[in-house]
Amino acid sequence: MDTSTAAARLAAALAVGLIVGLERGWRDRGLAEGARVAGLRTFALLGLLGGALALLQPALGAGPLVAGILGVGGAFAVAYAITLRETGSRSLTSLVAALVTLVLGALAALEQAAVAVGCAVLTAVLLDMKPVLHRWLRLVEADELRAALQLGVLSAVVWPLLPDTGMGPYGALNPYRLWLAVVLVAGLSLAGHFAMRLAGPRDGVVLTGLLGGLASSTAVTVALARRSREQPGAAASLAAGVLLSCGVMFVRIGILLAALQPVLLSSMAWPLGAMAAIVFAAGAWLWRSGRRGEADDRKSPVEARYDLMTALSFAALMAAVSVLTQALRDTWGDAGLYALAALSGLADVDAMTVSIARLHALDGVVTSAASNALLLVMASNLLSKGLLAWGVGGRWLGWRVVAGFAAAVAGGAVALAASAG
């Protein structure tokens, strides 16, 4: 290795140490000189040490690097024991950060400078976010943590093990693709729930609609419709929340299509965009023109957690819809597909969206038929939510919601016809 190459790698290793050390030094900047276990200079030297030990590998093997890691770990362990005895602090953060800095310095010297520097930046960000992360942990409830861990099992443990091949009746059941849809919907739902919790209950109907729509636009519709009975003067703003939550539904469908069948998304981009734009515009107009009611309930209206049983139930629903979709289409052609789309949309829009995307991917249905079926699913789902809003919230809420939904369906149909033509 020539001198310039070695110098460049050592410079990258030093940069790793400086990045992490900047955060560590700033956090302890109020301490007297010599009172810090490690600051900017120490971490910079640790990064440089890791790089130097890595450069010795071609001649001496991995022994020096391993010895360096053990030595630094031992030195910081002694410092930790002294700090624990003198101050009672049990934090291991600086010890772990020192070992990470040493290893990243070595990585920078092993032709992975970009990865090492990027990881150093992430390390510094995580260290700096201690108050924020601890505050988030205090907000998380036991069932929310359980739901997040279960989502990790669904996505990182179960999904990679599933076969990516058609199985069962008509070969309609692809475990890998079905489970991908489960993970996507579960992730969006859980993200929406956490967004509602972190935003707080006092941020109003707009956030309830926008964030709650990620978790369950049906739940938002029911919650806001119930409030309309108690606050009839706030019907316009509550209708705005319902419309905004259902507008997010179109965004969610777009995400599902982008992940499962991007070709189909290209044909549905204009209809989805038109429907979302109309619903969002109607919601914004109602929010501006309507008289505001109370800021918000003390409790978030979206209480459902997307736990393991919900995920399994959704997978079973998608499997059933996938088989029925193929069976009805084989029996009655596109008419059977449209009938099932209209019926299934009354209860759920995601399962049928996944089934249509899968059929399109297998060349089981042409783009025009798939697009028509997706429009039917969305129209049917909006119909059910409109009736729900009218029935639960009364006519003052209901007619505003139904009018917005009708305009969205009409706009989507026009956009689909224009894009097809």
Q: Give per-residue pLDDT as tens, 283-314.
A: 988 888 765 444 444 444 444 455 566 667 76
Task: Tell me the H-state helices in 200-297.
Answer: 204-230, 235-260, 262-289
pLDDT of residue 128: 86
With residues binned 3-state (H G I as helix, E B as strand, rest as coil), the percentages for the chain, rounded to 5, are 80, 0, 15
Q: In whole angstroms, what is the distance from residue 406 CA to residue 382 CA?
A: 8
The answer to whether 386 and 401 have CB atoms below 8 angstroms apart is: yes
pLDDT of residue 243: 92
The model's confidence at residue 89, banded by pLDDT at 50, 70 and 90, is: low
Q: 104 forms bridges with which residues in the sheet? A: none
Region of poorest pLDDT, from 33-37, 153-157, 349-353: 33-37
Determine the average pLDDT of the residues in 152-160.
83
Q: Give per-residue pLDDT as tens, 330-343.
A: 777 778 778 878 88
Highest mean pLDDT out of 60-74, 84-98, 160-174? 60-74
Q: How far is CA 155 from CA 7, 22, 52, 381, in A?
A: 42, 36, 39, 28
Region of poorest pLDDT, from 23-37, 65-79, 106-120, 353-367: 23-37
Helix (H, G, I), strand (E, B) or coil at 17: helix
Query: 91 is written with which tokens?
Result: 């934090």
Q: Give per-residue pLDDT as tens, 231-249.
A: 677 778 788 888 998 898 8
The model's confidence at residue 270, banded by pLDDT at 50, 70 and 90, is: very high
Q: Give per-residue pLDDT as tens, 165-208.
A: 777 776 667 788 777 767 766 776 666 566 656 654 444 567 76
Crossing angle, helix 204-230 and helix 395-420, to 10 degrees? 130
Determine the average pLDDT of the residues in 348-359.
80
Domain residue ranges in the chain: 3-135, 140-420
Residue 411 CB coordination number (10 Å): 20
Q: In whole angstroms, what is the distance from residue 86 CA to residue 78 CA?
A: 12
The answer to whether 341 and 352 have CB atoms below 8 angstroms apart is: yes
Please identify which residue in the block is written with the tokens 């919900």.
310
Helices (H) and strands (E) in the chain, counts: 17, 0
- Higher pLDDT pick, 293 / 398: 398
pLDDT of residue 281: 94
pLDDT of residue 303: 47
pLDDT of residue 197: 63
Would the pLDDT of 35 be above 60?
no
pLDDT of residue 397: 85
Reported as type and span, the H/E element at residue 409 is: helix 395-420
pLDDT of residue 144: 75
pLDDT of residue 318: 63
% of the chain with per-residue pLDDT over 90: 14
Say whether pTM exceeds 0.75: no
Report DSSP letters for 302-359, one per residue: ------HHHHHHHHHHHHHHHHHHHHHHHHHTHHHHHHHHHHHHTT-SHHHHHHHHHH
Strands, DSSP E only, in 156-204? none
